Amino acid sequence: MADNIKVMKEKDISKVTRRAKTGGVVAKVLTYAFLVFMAIVVLFPFYWMINSSLKSIEEYRMSTPTFWPQHVMWSNYSEAFRVANLGRLFLNTVIVGVVSTILSLIITVLSAFAFARLQFKGKNILFAGLLATMMIPGELFTITNYGTVNDLGWMNTYTVLIVPFLVSVFYIYLLRQNFLQIPNELYLAAKVDGTSDIKYLWKVMIPLSLPTIISITILKMMGAWNSYIWPRLVANDDLHKLITNGLRGTAFLDEAGETNYPAQMAAVALVSLPLFLVFVFLRKYIIRGVSRSGIKG
């Protein structure tokens, strides 16, 4: 009886493992097929963007598309620069991105330091209040801010693109958490040595939380690069327009009112290129930031 059971067990086990093995191979193949297919779906728009950006307008319009341009038209890129005034748009975006990132970092570091290291009345209530504002959709602020910046006479300036978004509660929160991990003894020791707060921040806190600061910098720069709604509302003149706004305007219409799509695709590729470079070289910092936030830009 016992022998019988043992035999049956061995039989079953071998059957199960055999089934698992063949099932395993099939499953592996299906897994890879699915993943590779999805990877192609993810990558295809990028390929199509580059393919389209290098075609002549006649070739672009062919109802049976070519998968690589018959004549590679690099001139679409210079055309994009010319008609859409891309140079100016790039410059504006870089100015706004760099200035707002630097100012925002200073404000974030000082606030995070105060919340992480200093004792003051109402600290917890203030911090909770700040976190609560994160729940409110940004559109709710925009309505009033539009009037405020108008009253301040900031319309169509760089200021209007920079100042209203300098404080990010989320970044303050992120950096505060990081600062809290640095032992308080270091701060007290620095105080005994007579080191000033700013020097301590600069020499100890910032170097130790550099990864978080880099994450914040990248996300803030990407935010400037991708912002669309607010800039369109408050700074839509040629001198201050930002890059995303230039893409969906009327710049690519020719005299006959037809859109020059290849040039438009070239502009799209030019806008995507810096983001792509950031992605290739600084991916891990972006992932570190977004896996804690769920906020795009």
Nearer residue to another protein within complex by CB, 114 or 213: 114
Chain positions 100 to 129 lying near another protein, rule: CB under 8 A, are 106-108, 110-111, 113-115, 118-121, 123, 126
Q: How far is the CB of 60 from another protein (least distance, A)?
A: 7
Nearer residue to another protein within complex by CB, 91 or 106: 106
Task: Confirm or reject binding of residue 59 to another protein (CB under 8 A).
Answer: no
What whole-number distance in Å separates Cα of residue 73 and Cα of residue 70? Answer: 9
Which burial class, exposed, middle or buried, applies to 263 when counting CB atoms under 10 A from its CB (0-12, 13-18, 19+)? buried
Interaction mask 219-258, another protein, x per CB under 8 A: ---x--xx-xx---x----------x--xx---------x
Task: Confirm or reject binding of residue 64 to another protein (CB under 8 A).
Answer: yes
Q: DSSP string covering 106-145, please? A: HHHHHHHHHHHH---TTHHHHHHHHHHHTTS-HHHHHHHH
Task: Confirm or reject binding of residue 180 to another protein (CB under 8 A).
Answer: no
Chain positions 37 to 56 lying near another protein, rule: CB under 8 A, are 38-39, 41-46, 48-49, 52
What whole-number distance in Å separates Cα of residue 200 and Cα of residue 171? Answer: 20
Which member of 4, 136, 183, 192 binds another protein (CB under 8 A)? 136
Q: Which residues contact 221 (CB under 8 A, 6 or more apart)?
A: 97, 98, 101, 278
**In DSSP terms, which residues pair with 259 in a beta bridge?**
253
Q: How far is the CB of 269 from another protein (least distance, A)?
A: 8
**Which amino acid makes up residue 242?**
L
Q: Which stretch binds another protein (CB under 8 A): 73-81, 166-174, 178-186, 203-211?
A: 166-174
**In DSSP terms, which residues pair with 253 in a beta bridge?**
259
Q: Which region holds residue 117: left if phi is over 0, alpha if psi is between -120 and 50, else beta? A: alpha
Q: Which stretch binds another protein (CB under 8 A): 69-77, 79-87, 132-140, 202-210?
A: 132-140
Question: Are 262 and 53 spatial neighbours (Cβ–Cβ below 8 Å)?
Answer: yes
Tokens of 14: 């071998």
Nearer residue to another protein within complex by CB, 68 or 279: 279
Which member of 95, 98, 166, 206 binds another protein (CB under 8 A)? 166
Nearer residue to another protein within complex by CB, 43 or 189: 43
Q: How far is the CB of 58 from another protein (least distance, A)?
A: 9
**Total of chain residues touching another protein, rule CB under 8 A:** 93
CA nearest 189: which of 207, 175, 204? Answer: 204
Nearer residue to another protein within complex by CB, 122 or 183: 122
Task: Confirm or reject binding of residue 286 to another protein (CB under 8 A).
Answer: yes
Q: Which residues contact 275 (CB under 8 A, 6 or more apart)?
A: 222, 225
Nearer residue to another protein within complex by CB, 1 or 60: 60
Instruction: For the chain, give the number of residues.
Output: 297
Nearer residue to another protein within complex by CB, 52 or 217: 52
